[in-house]
Structure 1
């Protein structure tokens, strides 16, 4: 099913910060932020077992347990199974290794087989406290795998997770499935398969103001031709576009800081907030179905919604284009 027909709003809520990403977020802060998102009309929530070893799912479940199930759209991910066993040694999550050091200490098993997919979904349903999921993403197939190893993991997912999710979709247990990754190659490979076919994909950090050229060359033309939708994760590029210091889960390098400075300068000249520029840019591509910024403070939710509805003059987009800060291939709002 088309993502456009499933997702409740053009803006959703990404719950990675709820898993204590970068810092230990107090429970009361989490509750206030999630309630603010709901009260302000957010009805699409994305989560994953990886986020704090199940912590984000548990916290989100606390909000959703009191809401009618038909009133919201929920997506989570497979590829990591969370065990009751506590991790005894150091945890290896590759480039995401330090992101959730303040999460739960439970052991995380990385596996995309059919059995692991079934167990992952069962665990997510239990932590979320719901009886069904709308969308399931196959998480991070190519994350931290180099050479041919990522292709081996892709094959594991193709013969395991892909087929299980296709069956669950056919049975009506889930409404859609796709890939949730921050690399374009596994999505391109999945779209080239004869079967099974994903309904869409969640692309994190690869269709933003700061990083979009690679996606525009191959992936997005393929997706548009096949009618496959995209959810844009990480629209603020790990926070650097929202006043933070991180890019790609690390401290932003000088060249990125300079690029952000130039974008901000043009934005200020045209009376545009950089958050609005980031969200509107990511949503302008015809493949984009929704964008899912995350937050840990109620005020941030209000900022995101205000940014979504901000009027941006066409001259701003033209200035970005003329400055070489966006690709000439990128569709811009209002046909700028």
Structure 2
């Protein structure tokens, strides 16, 4: 099913920060943030077993426990199975390994086979406390593998997770499935297949003000041609576009800090907030269906919603283009 028929709005809530991403988030702070999202009308929630070894799903499930199931759209991911046993060693989670060091200590198994996909879904349903999911993403299938090693993992997913999720979609158990990644290549290869065919994809960090040129070259024209929609994850590029210090899960390098400074200078000159610039840019492409910024503080929800609806003058977008801070191929709000 097309994502535009599933998603209730153009903005959702990404729960990665509530898996204790970067820091230990107190339960009361996480609960207050989720409550603020619900109270202010957010009805699309995205999670994953990876986020704190199930912590984000557990916290999200507590919010949703007394909400009518038909009132919200819920997405999670497969590719990691969270076990009951505690991992006493150093967990090999690749570039994201340090992100959730304050999460639950449970062992996490990386696997995209049919059996692992079904076990992952069972675990997510239990942690979320729901009887069904709307969207399921195949998570990080190209993450942390050297050279062409990731092609083998994609093949594992193609013959495992893809087929399980296609069957569940065809049976009406889920509404849609796709890839949830931060590389464009696995989506391109998947879209080139005759089958199984995904309904959409979640692309994290690759269609933002700071990084979008590669996606524009091949992936997005291919997706548009095939009628496949995109959800944009990480629209603030790990936070650096919203006043934070992280980019790509690490401290932002000097060249990124300088690029942000230049964007902010044009934004300040035109009275535009950085959050509005980031969200509205990511949504301007015709393939973009929604953005899912994350948060750990209740006040951030109001900021995100205000940014989504902020009136941004055309001269700001022209200024970015003239300064070569956005690709000339990137669609801009207002058809600029």
Alignment TM-score, normalising by the size of structure 2: 1.00
TM-superposition CA deviations, 1:175-223 (whole Å, max 9, x none): 0000000000000000000100000000000000000000000000000
What is the Cα deviation at residue 148 of structure 1? 2.1
2:43 is matched with which residue? 43
- What is the CA deviation profile of residues 53-85 of structure 1, one whole-angstrom value per residue up to 9, with x for unaligned ones? 000000000000110000000000000000001
Q: Residues 248-276 of structure 1, C-alpha deviation per residue, up to 9 Å, x if partnerless? A: 00000000000000000000000000100
Q: What SS does the aligned partner of 2:83 have?
A: strand
CA separation in 2, counterparts of 1:16 and 1:292?
A: 10
Provide the residue aligned with 1:22 in structure 2: 22
Offset of residue 146 of structure 1: 1.3
Q: Which residue of 2 aligns with 1:172?
A: 172
CA deviations on 1:105-152 (whole Å, 9 max, x unpaired) are 000000000000000000000000000000000000000001121000
Tell me the number of residue pairs that the alignment of Structure 1 and Structure 2 aligns. 336
Question: Helix, strand or coil for the counterpart of 1:88?
Answer: coil
Q: What is the distance in 2 between the residues matched to 1:173 and 1:326?
A: 41
Could you say which residue in structure 1 is the equivalent of 2:282?
282
Structure 2 residue 72 is the aligned partner of structure 1 residue 72: yes
Aligned to 1:127: 127
| 1:157 pairs with 2:157 | yes
Counterpart position of 1:213:
213
- Partner Cα distance (1:238, 1:92) in 2: 21
How many Å apart are 1:92 and its aligned residue?
1.1
Task: Measure, in 1, the Cα distance between the counterparts of 2:154 and 2:147.
Answer: 12
Equivalence map 1:164-243=2 (5 Å): 164-243=164-243
**Residue 81 of structure 2 corresponds to which residue in structure 1?**
81
Q: 2: distance between equivalents of 1:66 and 1:263?
A: 42
Per-residue deviation, residues 23-53 of structure 1 (Å, max 9, x unmatched): 0000000010000000000000000000000
2:321 corresponds to: 321
Q: How does 1:74-113 map to 2 (within 5 A)?
A: 74-113=74-113
Q: Counterparts of 1:229-308 in structure 2 under 5 Å?
A: 229-308=229-308
SS of alignment partner, residue 169 of structure 2: helix
Matches of 1:76 and 1:33 in 2, distance apart?
19
Partner of 2:115, secondary structure, is helix
Q: Distance in 2 between matches of 1:52 and 1:276?
A: 29
**Which structure 1 residue ranges, 4+ long, deviate > 6 Å from structure 2?**
none
Q: Distance in 2 between matches of 1:335 and 1:6?
A: 25
Indicate the SS of the match to 1:300: helix
Consecutive unaligned residues of structure 1, counting only runs of 5 or more, are none
TM score, norm. by length of structure 1:
1.00
Q: Deviations over 1:145-165 (max 9, x none)?
A: 011210000000000000000
How far apart, CA to CA, are the structure 1 residues paired with 2:21 and 2:220?
A: 29
* Other structure's SS at 1:190 match: helix
* C-alpha separation in 1, matches of 2:113 and 2:243: 39
1:55 maps onto 2:43 in alignment: no
Rounded Cα–Cα distance in structure 2 between residues aligned with 1:114 and 1:275: 39
1:41 is paired with a residue whose SS is: coil
Unaligned runs of 5+ in 2: none
The alpha-carbon deviation at position 88 of structure 1 amounts to 1.8
Cα distance between partner residues in 2 of 1:333 and 1:146? 37
CA–CA distance in structure 1, aligned partners of residues 286 and 335 of structure 2: 12
